Amino acid sequence: MPDVMRTMLLPLSWLYGLAAAARNSAFDLGLLPRRRAAVPVIAVGNLTAGGTGKTPLVEYITGRLTARGLNVAVVSRGYGRRSHGVVVVSCRGDIRADAFTGGDEPVQIARKFRSASVVVGERRADAAARAVKECGAEVIVLDDAFQHRSIERDLDILVIDASTEFLRERLLPAGMRREWFSGVRRAGLIGFSRAGGKDDPHRAGALSRWSGAPSFAYRTLIAGFATMPGNEHVAGDSLRGKRVLAFSGIGNHRGFVASLRAEGVDVAAEKRFPDHHIYTGKDLDGILEAASGADACVTTEKDMVRLLADPGLMARIVGPVPFIVAVATIGILRGGDLLEQAVSAALTGRSEP
């Protein structure tokens, strides 16, 4: 957005900030109600709109909890879906929705964790209750819920993109920030995503005026590749040095391309679409045209589930140029023990509802 437009939008940002502050005060004073789920709740969210590397952390926590033998349910709004109300995307491996009815990220998580459940709903408390009643959830992981305060949580994890000058980000609509920095006080743990190393010390120090919460640092990595639509594993080094077209409709396309190049993949061409973009036949024509001479088209898991929801597009993808999905994970660079301790404390230290 041009600087002149940002400046023109500043009065609206001030009004937005006042409204957000009033809403938070209403929750703090008990004027707006908060419901407690019957099971522990771990929330992951951020201060800004757009991609911050939050969903890979939700997946990491989900994987760690399922490895403990717990019945986990991931609950979110289901951004971008065409449905309304509470929708059970999956119940312990029984996938019941596609990207159109359940949202792309929820379906992505459901496909990745077959022993977990995924439930979406505008009212997160109702979705959590459904997950417990219908799927027997023993713990809820709330995705994108830092500002959704109508449900109590036993651990609030705030994700901040360490690769950005986050302290300079303006409030919506002049910038991408959702609330005043004083909201950081609600965080029980801060996760710095997209960290280049063990995290610059000033990153955590920059927030010290608002919060003394412990922090950890991580970055998103590519765990491997798989074919689409068969999801057959592809040897990690099979794309090394290959010329590919990278396309995505995610919050941070640039980061996706950088992660491919870090794996030795030659990104010869790119196609970038808006976050949560619903692909059309015209989009696919452009992708195939841009992929002329490439060895493969590579995209993200989030984009894959949107393509899978349209059989007509999937029928056209089976062709001479293979479509490959990059499977994401995270690498903890610092503070992994703090994250484990905080999660364990949330599971064992909560009061009865």
* pLDDT tens column, 165-211: 888 899 999 999 999 999 999 999 999 999 887 655 556 677 888 99
Strand residues in 166-277 grouped as ranges (E): 189-193, 215-227, 233-234, 243-248, 266-272
How many angstroms separate the CA atoms of 24 and 183, rounded?
Answer: 8
The verdict on pTM exceeding 0.85 is: yes
**222-329 to CATH, choices 3.90.550, 3.30.70, 3.40.50, 2.40.128:** 3.40.50
Tens of pLDDT, residues 206-218? 788 899 999 999 9
Percent of the chain clearing pLDDT 90 (strictly above): 81
pLDDT value of residue 353: 38
Three-state DSSP class for 127? helix
Percent of the chain clearing pLDDT 70 (strictly above): 96
Binned at pLDDT 50, 70 and 90, residue 51 comes out as confident
Listed in sequence order, the residues at least 6 apart from 159 whose beta carbon sits closer than 8 Å to its beta carbon are: 44, 45, 46, 52, 53, 54, 57, 190, 191, 192, 193
pLDDT value of residue 5: 83
Whether pLDDT at 351 is above 50: no
pLDDT value of residue 200: 56
Tens of pLDDT, residues 142-157? 999 999 999 999 999 9
Between 315 and 229, where is the model more confident?
A: 315
The label of the residue with tokens 């997950």 reads 131
**3-214+335-348 to CATH, choices 3.40.50, 2.30.42, 3.30.1370, 3.40.190:** 3.40.50
pLDDT value of residue 165: 86
pLDDT value of residue 352: 41
**Mode of pairing for the β-strands spanning 296-300 and 243-248:** parallel
Binned at pLDDT 50, 70 and 90, residue 7 comes out as confident
- Decide: 263 and 239 in contact? Cβ < 8 Å: yes
- Decide: 119 and 131 in contact? Cβ < 8 Å: yes
Q: Outline which parts of the chain fall under CATH 3.40.50.
A: 3-214+335-348, 222-329
pLDDT value of residue 199: 54
pLDDT value of residue 207: 85
Sign of the C-alpha dihedral, residues 34, 61, 48, 196? positive
pLDDT value of residue 229: 76
Structure token digits, residue 226? 């798989």
Whether pLDDT at 350 is above 80: no
